[in-house]
Amino acid sequence: MLSCVWKSARRTSPATLYSTYPTHLAMPHRVFLVDDHPVMRDGIKMLLDRALELEVCGEAVNADDALQALAADINPDLLVLDLSLPGMSGLDLIKHVRGLYPSLPVLVLSA
């Protein structure tokens, strides 16, 4: 069985293999987005929605909204944020998140 799968995998493009990933094997990783630009949030969300192992579990336009959402037990597996946010900066948000959720990974995007 394994050799049959391996032979067919060698003839299959990586994109096809990725699109046929058995989603019933694992729960997707939950991602929370924080960015004040709707175009950026929508673009990131569109890219993440294409990945079978990722799902966007929430969005916020500023740090205060993000902290409120995180306190509401959204339980993301990853926080993706922009450094330049209105009000509290992204760096200050990271400091708060580190204090409240020390094991939550943070990915910073900024232009």
Chain segment 4-42, per-residue pLDDT in tens: 444 444 454 445 544 555 555 578 899 999 999 999 999
Chain segment 49-80, per-residue pLDDT in tens: 898 899 999 999 999 999 999 999 899 999 99
Amino acid at 53: E
